[in-house]
Amino acid sequence: MERDRNSQKSIEGDISFLNEMKRMLRDRNYEHLKIMIRDWKDELQELMEDYETVEIPGDE
């Protein structure tokens, strides 16, 4: 149940982020958009590194 709530919050955060990116594209605010994408890329890299350290049963 708690996992579902966290997942829902994560999805809502992702949607909010994408809507913000869409608004910046529409407003042609490319400099701020580049900063957001760079920050998102860094966060994604950290998540990928975390995933690589997690042991998944049955995953070989």
Residues 6+ apart with CB under 8 A from 15: none
Helices 2-27 and 30-53: angle between axes, nearest 10 degrees? 150
Between 55 and 31, where is the model more confident? 31
Q: Which residue has the tokens 């690589």?
A: 52
The pLDDT tens digits for 1-52 are 666 777 788 888 888 888 888 888 888 888 888 888 888 888 888 888 877 7
Q: Using CB atoms within 10 A of its CB, is residue 36 exposed (0-12), middle (13-18) or buried (19+)?
A: middle
pLDDT of the residue at 47: 83
Residue 56: which pLDDT band, with cuts at 50, 70 and 90?
low
pLDDT of the residue at 54: 64
pLDDT of the residue at 3: 66
What pTM, to 2 d.p., does this model score?
A: 0.48
